[in-house]
A and B are shown apart, each in its own frame.
Chain A
Amino acid sequence: GAVVSQHPSRVICKSGTSVKIECRSLDFQATTMFWYRQFPKKSLMLMATSNEGSKATYEQGVEKDKFLINHASLTLSTLTVTSAHPEDSSFYICSARELKRFHFGNGTRLTVT
C-alpha cells in the first residue's frame, strides 16, 4: 500500500542550528503535503501546507521564515527548522493524501539543546 517515509526519525541539535526533515511519498505522487507538530500529550496541530512548485501556506501563528518548506518534486517535501531553539523541540509529522485517505510519516522527534 501507499507509504509516506519521513527522515530522520530522531534528531538532536544545538540551539541556533538548522535541521532539515524530509518527507517522501514512496509509491504515489503528492502535489500537496501537510506538516504537523505535536507536543507531548497533545493532538496534532497543522503547521503548513506544502504545494509542489509553489509557495507553502502557513497556519496562523507559524513563522514562515523559521519553518522553511520546499516541495521541489511530486514525491518530496522538506521542512527546515532554522535557528532552532529549545521551544522548537517537538514531534513533527508529515502527511499526504492518496485517493480517499491520508498517509502519514512516522514522525521526527526534534530535541534542541
Chain B
Amino acid sequence: DAKTTQPPSMDCAEGRAANLPCNHSTISGNEYVYWYRQIHSQGPQYIIHGLKNNETNEMASLIITEDRKSSTLILPHATLRDTAVYYCIGDLAGNTPLVFGKGTRLSVIA
C-alpha cells in the first residue's frame, strides 16, 4: 500500500470550500486513492475514491494529478458537520485491510 502524507490539521470557514491535500508519491499504477473521514466517536465513513480521473459525488470532489503523486479532496461548501479527521489511503481494492495514517483534522468554523 502506498504511504500517504497529509497535513495534521486544517481550518475552514463554514460555507467555504475545504481543500484537503494528500501526497502519495509511491502509489502503484493499480492502487486507488480512497478518502474516508471519521467524525468524533464514530466509525470511519467512505467519501470517494478514484484511480486516474477526477471524481465527483454528492459528498465531495476528488482531483488527482496527472502523475498520480498527489490528490486533493474538495468539500465544496463545508458545514460544521464536516468537522472530522480525513484519511487519504492507497488501496488495491482487493481483500486486504485499509491501513490508516494520521489523517488531517479538519475544523469547520462558524
Q: Which residues of A contact B (CB under 8 A)?
A: 4, 6, 32, 34, 36, 43-46, 49, 91, 93, 95, 97, 100-107, 109
Contact = CB atoms under 8 A, between A and B. Distances in A.
Interface in B24-80: 32, 34, 36, 38, 41-46, 49
Given A43-B87, A104-B43, A107-B41, 7 more contacts: A34-B98, A43-B100, A93-B43, A101-B34, A102-B44, A102-B98, A104-B44
Given A91-B41, A107-B41, A109-B41, A100 B100 contact: no
Contacts of A106: 42-43
A79 B102 CA distance: 25
Given A32-B95, A46-B97, A101 B49 contact: yes
Contact of A97 (B36, B95, B100, B102): B95
A30 to B, nearest CB: 10
Given A43-B101, A43-B103, A46-B97, A6 B43 contact: yes
A46 B97 CA distance: 8
Interface string B91-110: 00101011111110000000
Interface residues of B, number: 21
Contact of A100 (B44, B93, B99, B101): B93
Interface of B: 32, 34, 36, 38, 41-46, 49, 87, 93, 95, 97-103
Contacts of B32: 100
Nearest to B36: A102
B1 to A, nearest CB: 11
Given A6-B43, A106-B42, A106-B43, A100 B49 contact: yes
Contacts of B41: 91, 107, 109
Top 5 A-B pairs, shortest CB-CB distance: A104-B43, A34-B97, A44-B100, A43-B100, A101-B46
A95 B45 CA distance: 11
A106 B101 CA distance: 19
Nearest to B93: A100
A104 B45 contact: yes
A41 to B, nearest CB: 9
